[in-house]
Structure 1
Amino acid sequence: MLIPVVDFAAYGLSRRDVTDEQLNGLSKEVKAALEEIGFVFLKNSGITQEEVDRVMDVSRRFFQQPDELKRPFRRNSFADSPNHGWVSLESERLNPRRPGDLKEAFNTVSLHPDIKWPSSEAVTGFQEIQTSFFHRCKELSLRVLRVMAHCLGLDPDVFLSVHRLIGTDENGTTLRSLYYPPVNSEKTKEGQLRCGEHSDYGSITLLFQSSEGLQVRTRSGEFICAPCIPGAVLVNIADLMQRWTSDRFVSVRHKVLLPPAGDSSTRQSLAFFVQPDDEAVITCCDGSSKYPPVKAGEYLTERFKDSYG
């Protein structure tokens, strides 16, 4: 099984709008990928590899600082946005049954002017680069959601109306810069991974990666390697979207493996986790009761308890 690659140029960020014919074509390809696999690569999205490299570069410089310089920006330091900030090595377990993940992260959640940002000389431009990329990912994700609504024969406002507060403290959407440092395989714990197997929590995720290592579970239950395609964004379905669509689109489990023994390379990725507004109540859009209604913000909080508990 291969993850399909769809040319998104017709509705990329450089385009003001998309014709009905183009939307129909995109919807057909995206629907097939998301219904059959739950993942799809989009090329020509409008977000360039140069933009991605710029965010990864300033993020890497942040992560390579001593911990004492990162600690003032740690997650849970910001009262109005507790998920914002630095996540240290092994402090998160995306599979709670495994040891802590061998990764660090910086979560950009709040764009509130009072939020404190890293500003040392080593990370010049950190705030501007992260927030600019956040806005680019926000715009692309709204376009993807519109195409997804069209896939299902829905008014796009069904999805778009409950993502209006992205970038405020009333929405949990997160741009996550991830850094996987070199691994000493002799010192890893039994069962430890760079990122334990999990499904994402919200609507959809946009992922940009610097190298391979991600594995995706197929419908038959086997894990396959997801390639790294420069310039393309990997989009996957998350849990609330599966509930929303009564399993038309399925949230797929995935993980990041340890590198082979003797491989001392690092790995980076950028994940844009799209969440509905905190107060949005997610119900099955086909009118069924396959899943009970759930408030998006409360669902996200419960999932964080599993990861950080």
Structure 2
Amino acid sequence: MIPVVDLAQYSLSASLDDTPTSTLKKLGDEICSAFKEVGFVYLINHGIPTEMVEDTFALSKTFFNKPVDIKQKYAKPADEFHGWIALEQERLNPDRPVSDLREAYNMRPTKSTTVPNDILPEFTKAFEDFFFTCEKLAWRILDLLSIGLDIDREYLRQCHQLMGKGHNTTTLRANYYPPIKDVKEGQVRCGEHSDYGTATLLFQDDIGGLEIKAPNGDYMPVKPIEGAIVMNLGDLMERWTADRLKATKHRVLLPVEEIKQKKGRQSFAFFIQPDDDVMITCLDKSNKHPPISTLDYLKQRFAATY
């Protein structure tokens, strides 16, 4: 069972000064407890407008429905994090025989030649508005994580102070899983993996398909809850906490139901990453994991994915 945390008293629409310390402690403990036991949590009443999510879903679908030769003009360069990633270009589980049946678009607030403003003039504004709204929620999540971990409330926020700026790879990713047609043996929509950074805010459509690895080793569905964000911990945060909190593996298999096979699936992931030069060292001073910089760790993981 994935816990549900109600952020109403600390949502984007709530005043920071009006949230009682006892409420912050309760929320921080609930989130950390979920990350200790399951690695995932539903966030409700978070304050990100439903209309913003729906509009950005619609805009991204318009882009993904363009012909491949048009999308190729906005492909992500090998040395950048921004741009379109073609179908079957990623393999999130390197042990699977073929690449994932998914395409994506990575967006960061940066000048890039891979932004399709010439075909979708509203693209940059819509995606940046969504990015910065997610970032505002991320600051509150970092605060609650610090409270739940009983560390200095400013520490995690200081380690992420360049989000949305240079030297930080925090990314908003639009994922698109096309209708099922030709499938290779052993292929899935998204292979088993854990995320790389601090934490991820995931927005699902109503198609479903996401599964997480439960403590007993079986995979269980993460059913969409209307208006809820699914949040999961990343590998760097697991290292940071000396495995006190867990980064849980998850996947998206091919749908069994014929009606869902004929539909595309969409999701948005906001990957919260520490600043590039932050050294990830165990908070409990145990040195259970050797220190590593954020950027060096991410480069290792990306090298295994592409």
Tell me the TM-score normalised to structure 2 length: 0.95
- In the alignment, the residues of structure 2 paired with residue 307 and residue 218 of structure 1 have an alpha-carbon distance, to the nearest angstrom, of 23
Asked if residue 222 in structure 1 is aligned to residue 186 in structure 2, the reply is: no
Task: State the distance in 1 between where 2:244 and 2:296 align.
Answer: 23
Report if the CA contact (8 A) 2:146-2:152 is conserved. yes
Once the two structures are TM-superposed, the CA of residue 16 in structure 1 deviates from its matched residue by 2.5
Matched, 1:24 2:25: yes
After superposing on structure 2, the runs of 4+ consecutive aligned residues of structure 1 that deviate more than 3 Å are: 113-116
Give the count of matched residue pairs: 300
Structure 2 residue 189 is the aligned partner of structure 1 residue 189: no
Matched, 1:133 2:130: yes
Q: Which residue of 1 aligns with 2:102?
A: 103
Q: CA deviation at 1:28?
A: 2.5
Residue 207 (str. 1) matches residue 202 (str. 2): yes
SS at match of 1:166: coil
Residue identity over aligned pairs, in percent, reads 42
- The alignment yields a C-alpha RMSD, in angstroms, of 1.3
Counterpart residue number, 2:164: 167
1:145 deviates by 1.1
Structure 1 residue 261: Cα displacement: 5.6
**Secondary structure of the corresponding residue to residue 29 of structure 2:** helix
Q: 1:176 corresponds to which residue?
A: 173
Letter in 1 for 2:76: R
Q: How far off is 1:259 after superposition?
A: 1.3
- Give 3-state SS (helix, strand or coil) of 2:271's partner: strand
Query: What are the Cα deviations for residues 10-34 of structure 1, in whole angstroms up to 9, with x where unaligned?
Result: 1101122122021022123222211
CA–CA distance in 1 between the matches of 2:61 and 2:171? 18
Q: Post-superposition shift, 1:244?
A: 0.4
Q: Relative to 1, partners in 2 of residues 1:293 and 1:5: Cα closer, same or farther, differing over 3 Å?
A: same
What is the rounded CA distance, in whole Å, between the counterparts of 1:5 and 1:280 in structure 2? 31
- Is contact 1:5-1:42 (8 Å) kept? yes
Give the letter for the 1:138 counterpart: E
* TM norm structure 1: 0.94
| 2:38–2:215 Cα contact (<8 Å) kept | yes
- Deviation by residue 1:58-117 (Cα, 9 ceiling, x = unmatched): 00000000111111110117x6xx1110000000100112211111100012x2345552
* Cα distance between partner residues in 1 of 2:188 and 2:138: 29
Q: Quick one: distance in 1 between partners of 2:264 and 2:112?
A: 33
Q: Which residue of structure 2 lines up, in the alignment, with residue 270 of structure 1? A: 268
Specify the alignment match of 2:3 in structure 1: 4
Which of 237, 243, 265 in structure 2 is aligned with 1:241? 237
Residue 168 of structure 1 deviates from its aligned partner by 2.1
Amino acid at match of 2:64: F
Aligned to 1:146: 143
State the 1:176 CA deviation.
Answer: 0.2
